[in-house]
Structure 1
Amino acid sequence: MESLKPRTCKFCNKSFRRERTLASHVCEPKRRHADSVERYWELAFRAYQKFYKYNYPTRTKDRTKDQFIKSQYYGGFIKFGRFLHTGLVLGHEKYVEYVIRNAIKLEKWSSDAIYEEYLKEHLFKETVERAAERMMLYIMNWSSDNEKLADNFFDELTPAQALILIRNGTMSPWIVYGTQQGEKIIDSMSDEQLNIAVKFIDPK
């Protein structure tokens, strides 16, 4: 016979009469612990640690996962972690440093407008070698995924697709201005597309 001795959830301290009830019980702290294996959660946690280390430099110990889970800012950092996890954020560790250093409010960290400001600053500082490496890696992945020759990439790239690559930082100003393919892409864009692209490729 099952003992009726109360069982307590170690996450929220709620008591239950039956083991199976405890096992099926899901509270917010328990769910957060379960989510901690996810990549977006880890990205959020690291950003949380950096935030506290920057703002409280005299504290020598890093914030723990339990502290993160109980934090009033948990939801905001998780939203940001999901934003980073899209894979569209270029140099996400530098982006974390950027929003913290510029004292940007947490709720705006996932803003496209804030990211675009960071991206414009970041792209004009990186080396041509780094920009070329990123573009080449993207082209090789495209070639593999589509089973096409890498040499055909720019021939098949539409202006709309190129604009996306420019906006997310895959195609840097170095590529646009420093190659014939880049110049050809710019020439093929509509005025509307060009007005958007120029925000990311014009250092002025």
Structure 2
Amino acid sequence: MTNIVVPQSFPDQLRNAVRAGLIASAIVGIIIGIVALIWPEPTLVVVAVLFGITLIFTGIYRLTMAFSAKLLPTGIRVFLGLMGAIILIAGIVCLFNPGESLVLLAILIGVGWIFQGIQEVAAGLAGAHYAPKWFLIGSGAFSIVAGIIVLFLPGAAIATFLIVGAILLVVVSVITLFTLPRAAEVPQ
């Protein structure tokens, strides 16, 4: 039988590389968070453009799947093609009208929360055993209400998401700097 030696920790060079990466990402996180707090409108435009680009790539991927996945049934391929075209067009529209893409993003979040809430309420009423019944129904009702608020106030929701997200990004980045692994001594 062969004895396997398992290292007790990361090699020193790897630990220092991870440490450097964590420091860099924390500094970038702090800068991005502060920029988002100081200049929220330009930050939202960047988010909107990135959302549009994401939709374009997703649409292209779905269209590629529709035309290349010969093993899928025709109905699924047609569905993928239609969804891909719709998503691609939505992405192009988002790039030319970033403000509207933020509203679309808020609507998608609101609808997602409503559906999640409905699922949780239904699970609670059906007696699901993965969480207490009262908790499922309560959290589901909260998700439904939050989704409705986002649908009716998408601009306020996006602004709130930005502010809260920026603050959390700064806080998490600062915490990362205080919880770094110790630097290892690298032989010269």
- TM-score by length of structure 1 reads 0.30
Higher relative CO (Cα under 8 Å, sequence separation at least 6) belongs to 2
